[in-house]
Amino acid sequence: MKQVTPPEWSHNVEAEDIGDHPVRKQISASPQQRKDLARRLGIEAVNSLKADLVLSQQAGKSVINVSGQFEANVTQTCVVSGDAFDSVMNGDVEGWFANPAHIVSLDKARNIKKSKKGESEVPMIDEKDDPEPIVDGLIDIGELVTQHLSLQLDPFPHKEGEHFETGDESFVQRPNEERQNPFAGLKALKEKKEKEKAE
């Protein structure tokens, strides 16, 4: 049986604790967790990482919404000069979670049906209509914040005032390039959803 590696920053909340009233959680990553996250994200350091989140039960559904904000201070390596520099990052956090035994995504079922019929255009499913599964009764809000931080990281970080003369960054070898960002696919998916909504 394959062993699953636990997330670098795991902060679990019991789904059963989320009832009629929203639950607020303020969390922050420990020094060791930040060190592990920096390795995972392929950056020099995560100097601080905290989040202020609210978990709420969606009316009439077996779905729990997590929303709030995160703040982080990270050290990255400038792709122009090679110098390390710090930057403060802020961002929104949002996610939906559900017990897979209690909910069936109607939109997902429709898309599967369309794909079986050979329809080439299968619409993207909105995240709230295709929630993440609640595993063992737990919602990992630490991992959720990590994913949102990853989406905020610039793949070609620039120290303020440093720029390429040619303006072409495609030839640049990123530091730690062999360690690909594990959320690159997630970022591309998010950008595709935003583009489809705009259209």
Q: What is the pLDDT of residues 148-164, one digit of tens each?
A: 999 999 998 988 765 55
φ, ψ for residue 129 (rounded to 5)? Answer: -95, -5
Supply the pLDDT for residue 194: 65
Residue 97 lies in a domain: yes
Q: Which domain holds residue 149?
A: 12-198
How far apart, in Å, do the first and last CA atoms of the chain sit?
45
* Secondary structure of residue 168 in the 3-state scheme: coil
109's enclosing H/E stretch is: helix 106-116
Query: Which pLDDT band holds residue 58 (cuts at 50, 70, 90)?
Result: confident
Residue 3 lies in a domain: no
Supply the pLDDT for residue 131: 86
Residue 5 lies in a domain: no
pLDDT tens digits along 98-127: 987 765 554 555 566 666 666 555 455 556
Residue 7 lies in a domain: no
Query: Which pLDDT band holds residue 165 (cuts at 50, 70, 90)?
Result: low
Beta strands, E only, 100-185: 132-133, 138-140
Residue 33 lies in a domain: yes
CA pair distance 103, 149, nearest whole angstrom: 28
- 110 or 4: which leads in pLDDT: 4
Residue 54 lies in a domain: yes
186 Cβ contact list (under 8 Å, min separation 6): 147, 150, 151
Supply the pLDDT for residue 175: 47
Quick one: average pLDDT of 45-49? 98
Query: Which pLDDT band holds residue 75 (cuts at 50, 70, 90)?
Result: very high
Residue 4 lies in a domain: no
Amino acid identity of residue 121, one-letter, is E
Supply the pLDDT for residue 151: 95
Amino acid identity of residue 184, one-letter, is A
- 173 or 33: which leads in pLDDT: 33
Supply the pLDDT for residue 172: 47
Q: How many domains does the chain have?
A: 1
Of 145, 147, 102, the closest CA to residue 12 belongs to 145
Residue 95 lies in a domain: yes
Supply the pLDDT for residue 20: 86
